[in-house]
Structure formats: structure tokens, C-alpha cells
Amino acid sequence: MGARTFPVPPDPAGDPAGGDCAVTEGDSEREVVRYWWEKAEGCLASAQRELAAGALEFAADRLYYALFYTVSAALAERGHSARRHSGIRASFHREFIRTGLLPEELGRLYDHLFEDRQEGDYVVFVAFERSYLAVQLERCRLFLGELRPLVRALDDPA
């Protein structure tokens, strides 16, 4: 059997432009959606560990990626993908915020964490406050909770 490819978000540890991943004929788009959702949950757990350890820049990074992968899962289910973080961000606002499916507050949270991640990666001597990140962690939990009902593939039996 041949392999199919599904567009995937950029890999933070690899090619920043993203690309396609090979998926066998037995795999489905539902499995791809679940994969991104599991990555989101893993990033959220990692953010909590990094915050507890005092690794604040890493916590900020993981918080952003928790939202990034959550949005990637929701967009993938709808057949949308992008090759750059800015494309995922724009698609999120177009598909979920501007349509009223999600409140504007969640769009602002995504934008703030996007900017935090940019600063953490590229600004010299950036410092995050533990209390700020603790609040953002709770907001990210709510974000996943708000998107969860919109990602139907997670409800289907495996």
C-alpha cells in the first residue's frame, strides 16, 4: 500500500517551515487530529512541570505550543493546515474567532502566548514572572476545554 501525506504544523525542533508527514493507508485524518491533540496535552503537562521547576522561559514555550497543537488539531479536522505559525494563527482567528465559535478572549490568549514565545526565543535577557505564567497555565487549560467540544474526532472510538 502507498503512503498518504497530511500537512502538519511546523516542528519546533526541526524544520521551521513544516511540511508533510507520511501516513499509511490504514491511518486516517482522525488519527492525525488525535495525534496533535495528544501533543497539546503533553505540552500543557510539560508547561506545568517547567513552571514548578522554575524554568520559566521553557514554561512559556510549552504553553504556546499547547495552544498551537490544540488549534492545529481543530484546523486539521476541518481540512485546514498551514506551513508557518503565522498561518495557523491567522486560520484560527478566521475559522474560530471571527465566526463567533470561540470568544475573542481566546484569540487574545493565543496571540499573547505567540508573542511570549517569540520573545522567549529571540529577545536577549527576557524574563517571565512565575505568577503571570501560572495564570496563563490556567487559561490554557480553559482554552483546551473550550476547543474540546469542537474537535469531534476525539469522540470517535479508536
Answer whether residue 134 is part of any domain: yes
pLDDT value of position 44 = 99
What domain count does the chain have? 1
- Confidence check: pLDDT of 53 > 60: yes
Answer whether residue 10 is part of any domain: no
pLDDT value of position 152 = 87
Give the DSSP letter string of 44-76.
Answer: HHHHHHHHHHT-HHHHHHHHHHHHHHHHHHHHH
What's 39's domain CATH number?
A: 1.20.120.330
Residue ranges making up the domain that contains 68? 27-152
Answer whether residue 38 is part of any domain: yes
Stated pTM of the model: 0.81
3-state helix, strand, coil in the chain (%, to 5): 65, 10, 25
In sequence order, the β-bridge partners of residue 7 are: 20
Answer whether residue 6 is part of any domain: no
Answer whether residue 105 is part of any domain: yes
pLDDT value of position 25 = 38
Other C-beta atoms within 10 Å of 11: how many?
Answer: 12
Answer whether residue 5 is part of any domain: no
Answer whether residue 13 is part of any domain: no
Answer whether residue 22 is part of any domain: no
Residue 67 or residue 2, greater confidence: 67
